[in-house]
Amino acid sequence: MEQMNSNNFNNMPNVGKDWLTTLLLCIFLGNIGIHRFYTGHIGIGIAQVLTLGGCGIWTLVDLIFIATDKFTDSEGNALVKK
């Protein structure tokens, strides 16, 4: 069997969700967690729907994480800036 080289993963095309789309969804629909559904975090998205984004606090934290490139999709991939 062929052994995978870790450098092969560095050459992969953009695999994460779009950064700008996630940011805009968080800004305009963050209180109902749409950005979480978009990035694959279904469970947290449902929690945000039920709590209205943690009364806005959860949305604000997510917005800061997205803006500072600390937010990832459900598979752990960084958001992609196109």
Which pLDDT score is estimated for 10? 53
Own/partner pairs for 19-25, CB < 8 Å, 24+ apart?
19/66, 19/69, 19/79, 19/80, 19/81, 19/82, 20/81, 20/82, 22/66, 22/71, 22/79, 23/63, 23/66, 23/67
pLDDT digits (tens, 9 = 90+) for 25-82: 999 999 999 999 999 999 999 999 999 989 999 999 999 999 999 999 999 999 999 8
